[in-house]
Structure 1
């Protein structure tokens, strides 16, 4: 579509939606803030840039917008703050971006029940500040934590290091409300901690990348903030690191996080050299001190260098780790989500070093799930293919989350080889029969 035609489409969409959301809630491409243009550019080719972005203020407005889009056959790209728009497959023929960023009310915080209900556009950082006033928190450590909304975190199943103790996003999710592709509101779950029988829509929507519906409201399980926290960092030879990790997982120690770090990531964090292991203990003060000392002793007996971080130094360390993996850059780096058998985590990081000449950054949770950050200027599709093949040989997978559009077009972003594609397509057909929600963004072009 040429520039004149795109302007005409944008004007037509804006004219039809303005009575619903108001003039201040619609922006055409030329008037979007640069940060939004950059984020959308990472999701679509220049030939498929959406005409407009709309910010509904209420669920009723969102329902009306989607109803109008359904009736006009407009394809939609849902998002929150847009920080993860570049994840997943390359979108095609998107007419309208719908942001839930202004659906940002806290509905209810049941302090005694340890539950909180919020609209999907609430930012995690803001919610953590609110929960902290009642000595509670959500054990989520996603990418771009200051910008990420709850809806976006759920849609991308982005939990982080705390999953070792608390599980993933779907394990904290108790209830959802969402707008279907035809503009109707639907709900699943509730606002209390209970087991329910039937189709688990919360798990289905977690990691669906906006292809099944647009989340409007979510209820999550909160947790008390532990009394004390301490992080043990062990670095050194790969064999010794693998040995201490195996000992840790087979012991009675109860860490809340346990992450293995590639040698380059260890180097960039200023943590000496070699493969690293970062383990956080959070409990009463005496327990944290005792467990930290025991793990430190085991590591030192195997020849690893060890340090214990507490208080401000610990907070700085974990913040630096997140920034190294997710730091923004002018040209998007290649970030990948991987999974391997836990016993293969260290050898996978060694393989990463070999294929990238020790320039790749790798973080693998002790569970076997992890993240890679690769240099888009030097890493080729062939190298990504070799890394994927290695992960698959270790019982796992490799998914490309973010990368330059040109690179994504040269490979299969998802690399899915399972046997559930038929079921996935049937579910997509049931929830979005006209294929207007995030077309081509999910596995196999769903």
Structure 2
């Protein structure tokens, strides 16, 4: 590329040599996220701007040279959305890590994209406030990445996904200009909802440089209930009744038999499920006091009526934390059995059992382990495939299982992604789900905001 040296020189002039990485041994660490099967390329450079103005300079320099930009946070994504393409500039936002403002009276925070999710949660907690979205990687993923993929987490059943907590954004557009969307007020319907357009856009429309986030009053210490069922079908009956009866726990997670077994071995503890448990349902209520006790008692009764072999409720923080740790440890536990890749499909809550059963059949067909955990409260399931990455045959089988799970999710009236995004591994499936007209509208929006296809080309869909 004849313009490459000029682009690098211009980036160095704008950011300084320490913030422009070109050594392949260094830039290789920024080539991909946590999805091992998604394609990736080799970047021309990795840049780490430390201000909004520097982000604007990077965008303008790349636009003038026709060099694509791939925005990236911490790299914790699970769809390949932050994966580099050949000769791109990877724009890393982790140096933009300031919590600009915490407004206790209006219950909002203004943050830059490089702020770590857990750091924000800890900071607002000191003001008696709560930032709800809690992806599994909340202790190292960044707010920018959460915004780009519209991340969810364990608390979605009660508090919603990331977009439900976003009031406004600042975004650098393809011409380097700075767009401000949204507002700081509780209500506001002036114009198109541009904020929600950019949340979940996976860096294909611009670079988010700031977010105004809605906060909640800090919840009460949660009570925790665990119920073990002889079969996933019984757990599914319980989930359906919880929804039908209008209960809204702050957390409702499900683990299948494979997940239970690997976690008990990994943590060297028993979850109380007993031998041969088919499923585990984990619920919490953060309503506090008698309200929480009534909610958990109602959940206990539903699980008992649905055929649970064991139902146990605790208000002990340490015991509840241990149970939640078991749910969060599933991927780490599976890692001891081989390489893993996790899928992300969301189905109607009445179809969770069908999805789990279908995954068991897919696992038997391909001869690989598939463990299913997920957010039972909203139907967002994470079937995780265990395979040997050094075996071409097993990699091919993992791809086959991944595709079969997506097809299963769609056949059950679901969606190909509930919170991880489309990225560079589900483009074909996005087209299947949205259809021709839906894809045409996506491409027209992309062309209007990014006519040169500058931002993250090839992610989500091809123009």
> Normalising by structure 2, what TM-score?
0.85
Q: Does 1:430 align with 2:448?
A: yes
Q: Does 1:275 align with 2:263?
A: no
Query: Residues of 1 paired with 2:405 and 2:334: CA distance?
Result: 23
Query: Residues of 2 paired with 1:328 and 1:351: CA distance?
Result: 20
Query: Residues of 2 paired with 1:115 and 1:416: CA distance?
Result: 38
Q: Does 1:307 align with 2:312?
A: yes
Query: 1:331-410 counterparts in 2 under 5 A?
Result: 333-357=340-364, 359-377=370-388, 378=394, 379-399=397-417, 408=425
Query: Residues of 2 paired with 1:190 and 1:327: CA distance?
Result: 43
Asked if 2 retains the 8 angstrom alpha-carbon contact of 1:10 and 1:52, the reply is: no
Change (3 A) 1:53 1:275: same
Q: What residue is the counterpart of 2:439 in the other structure?
A: 421
Give unmatched runs, 5+ long, in structure 1.
Answer: none
Offset of residue 277 of structure 1 = 1.6
Query: Residues of 1 paired with 2:209 and 2:190: CA distance?
Result: 23
Number of aligned residue pairs? 435
Q: What residue is the counterpart of 2:267 in the other structure?
A: none
Query: Residues of 1 paired with 2:138 and 2:187: CA distance?
Result: 28
Q: What residue is the counterpart of 1:112 in the other structure?
A: 105
Query: Residues of 2 paired with 1:283 and 1:40: CA distance?
Result: 35
Query: Residues of 1 paired with 2:45 and 2:74: CA distance?
Result: 15
Change (3 A) 1:96 1:120: same
Change (3 A) 1:252 1:418: closer
Deviations 1:188-216 (A, max 9, x none): 01223222232111111111110000000
Change (3 A) 1:155 1:119: same
Query: 1:156-305 counterparts in 2 under 5 A?
Result: 156-236=149-229, 237-270=231-264, 271=271, 272=273, 273-304=277-308, 305=310
Q: What residue is the counterpart of 1:445 in the other structure?
A: 462
Asked if 2 retains the 8 angstrom alpha-carbon contact of 1:67 and 1:183, the reply is: yes
Asked if 2 retains the 8 angstrom alpha-carbon contact of 1:338 and 1:370, the reply is: yes
Deviations 1:247-298 (A, max 9, x none): 2112243311222222212223333221222211111222222322232233
SS of residue matched to 1:196 = coil
Asked if 2 retains the 8 angstrom alpha-carbon contact of 1:78 and 1:214, the reply is: yes
The 10-residue stretch of structure 1 (284-293 or 136-145) with the greater mean CA deviation from structure 2: 284-293
Query: Residues of 2 paired with 1:293 and 1:180: CA distance?
Result: 51
Query: Residues of 2 paired with 1:274 and 1:223: CA distance?
Result: 36
Offset of residue 399 of structure 1 = 4.6
Q: What residue is the counterpart of 1:17 in the other structure?
A: 11
The 10-residue stretch of structure 1 (412-421 or 236-245) with the greater mean CA deviation from structure 2: 412-421
Query: Residues of 1 paired with 2:81 and 2:199: CA distance?
Result: 14
Asked if 2 retains the 8 angstrom alpha-carbon contact of 1:332 and 1:402, the reply is: no
Q: What residue is the counterpart of 1:58 in the other structure?
A: 51
Query: Residues of 1 paired with 2:405 and 2:49: CA distance?
Result: 41
1:323 equivalent among 325, 329, 332: 329
Asked if 1 retains the 8 angstrom alpha-carbon contact of 2:110 and 2:210, the reply is: yes
CA-atom RMSD, angstroms?
Answer: 3.0
Query: Residues of 2 paired with 1:10 and 1:40: CA distance?
Result: 29
SS of residue matched to 1:334 = strand
SS of residue matched to 2:234 = helix
Query: 1:69-88 counterparts in 2 under 5 A?
Result: 69-84=62-77, 87-88=80-81
